[in-house]
Every structure is written in structure tokens, then in C-alpha cells.
Amino acid sequence: MKKIFVVALIVLIAAGYGVGSFFVDFALRRGDDLSPPKACANIADPTLTAPPVPNFAAEDWTLESFDGLTLHAKIFSPAEPSTRWAILVHGYGRDGRFAYDYADEYLKRGWNVLIPDLRAAGTSGGEFITMGALESRDVFDWAAKISDAHPDAKIILHGVSMGAATVLMTAALEPPNVVAVVEDCGYTSAYEMFTAQLEKIFGLPEYPAMPCADIVCKLKTGVKISDAAPIKIVDRIKIPVLFIHGDADGLVPFEMMGRLFEACAAPKQQFVVAGAGHADAKRTNPNAYFDKVFAFLAEVTP
């Protein structure tokens, strides 16, 4: 009887690992050809192409992450020297090129811009995306690199989707010279977001797939999917935050913004874009979007 129990337990553990490993590789591991994770075909808009490169002076920066990855970023400089800096953080399955249209607006208004390729994206190293858990530490290091090179820099963080979750988690770490955050359609937690998508895409319930994926993710990446949870740390943020969300978001539910906003103890504002889907607030109403962003930044940055 004991032998049967042990065999059954081994089979159960192996099955759980198999389920979890499939999900982690499907959702978080980029391809050997550096393509995005396979889940992007189900989640991200496949017709979206990267906008043109901003017509401003540019240079390439590199950074070694805390765990030894070589990370890359593009730096753009405005026409006139400025102490204002924006770190623009792309979303899931994208790379820094997809922030070029945001960068163009900042540059026209006199801001320096740093656009990183997050780990496991674009030209940066790494095998697995961690939905903000480790990316937030990388963005902290980019802010520190700017501060080392430009001690008088006033830095804001602006992220979309996974990038929004990342900048919220970065802000809670209190990076140097960062004075404000713009988060656009970030999730309360990657675990919650993936749970909802698991049911939509595969018709599967949360149990046992997500707990297994959470454990396997820890084994493969060093962090759990559930560690990417801005809702757990947003109350630690001390600098002003602008929360943006479309009320027709089908990927990150609109109610998640309300929960993040409520939990945030810092000075805060919110901007709801009627009819906008996921990561579509800017495209739905670009004039209103940037008017709000730069009015907010004018209020909170010297």
C-alpha cells in the first residue's frame, strides 16, 4: 500500500511539473530565434507594428543586470539640453521599439528618453519574462545609471501593460532621482491576469494549472508568477502616480485599476479612456492622452 502511495505521489508531482512547465514555457519563455513567447499569439495584437524611430539624436546603452544578463536600451536626446528624463517601458511580448511613438511626444516636449529592451525581449539577454518581478529591478538599475551620469536628472517612469506593472514595482523600490510614475493599464498581479486568460484561451480552471505554474516558474526563473504583483507593494510608493486605463480592456480588467488606485497611498490621479481596449488608450484618443500625461507631469515635477 505504501509503495502504491509513493508511486502515485511521484506520478502526481511529475504531472504537476509537466503542466506547470508547459504553461511557463508557453507564456514566459521566448523562442530560440528570440521571438516572443508563444502565448503572445493569443494575447497581443499580431497586426501591430513598431512605429518609426524618433528623429532625434540617439545612442545605445548597455547594463549588466544583477543576475548577469546584458541588457540594452536606446537613449534619445531632445533638441535642447534638459534635466528631465523619461524611462518608457514596453509591454508583454514587445520590445523597446514599440515605445517609439510615446518617445516622440516626450522628445518634442524637451524630455530625454531611455527605452529599455526588458530582459528576454529585443536585443537584451535572458530566456524568461517574469512579468515585472525581475524587470522592476532592471528598471531601477537603468534609473541609477541615468542618475550616475546625470546627477541632476529628474526621472519619470512611464509603462504600458506589463511595463505599467513593472514601473509600479520599480517605484516601490525607491530608485534614485525618480519623481513620478505613469502607469497605463497595469495589472494587480500577473497571477490573476493569467488565471483569467487560462480560462478564456484553454477553458481551464485556475486549479491545478496556475499553482503548478507558479512553483515551476520559481524553479526556472528564481521568482514566482505571483511575485509580479503590484497590488502587494503599491502602498509603499511615495511619489505621485497617474493611473490610466481603458474601460473596454479585455485583457487586464478595468476594475484592476480601481483596486490599484485605492491601494496606492501616494499622491495620485486617474484617467479613464472611454471605449479603449487593452494598451489602446493612447491610440483611442492621443490628444487627450498626452494632454493628461503632461498636465500631470507639469504638476508633480519641478
What's the pLDDT at 14?
A: 58
Per-residue confidence in pLDDT tens, the chain, 302 aa: 566 644 444 544 555 678 889 889 989 999 999 899 988 877 777 677 899 999 999 999 999 999 999 999 999 999 999 999 999 999 999 999 999 999 999 999 999 999 999 999 999 999 999 999 999 999 999 999 999 999 999 999 999 999 999 999 999 999 999 999 999 999 999 999 998 887 776 666 777 889 999 999 999 999 999 999 999 999 999 999 999 999 999 899 999 999 999 999 999 999 999 999 999 999 999 999 999 999 999 998 86
Domain ranges of the chain: 1-32+193-224, 56-189+228-300
User: DSSP per residue over 241-293, as a string?
Assistant: EEEEEETT-SSS-HHHHHHHHHH--SSEEEEEETT--TT-HHHHSHHHHHHHH
CA 291: distance to chain centroid?
A: 23
Residue 247 and residue 254 in contact, taking contact as beta carbons nearer than 8 Å: yes
> What is the 3-state secondary structure of 214-242?
HHHHHHHHCCCHHHCCHHHHHHHCCCCEE
Burial of 125-135, coded b for 16+ CB within 10 Å and e otherwise, reads bbebbbbbbbb
What's the pLDDT at 3?
A: 61
Neighbouring CB atoms inside 10 A of 248's CB total 14
Q: What is the fold of 56-189+228-300?
A: Rossmann fold (3.40.50)
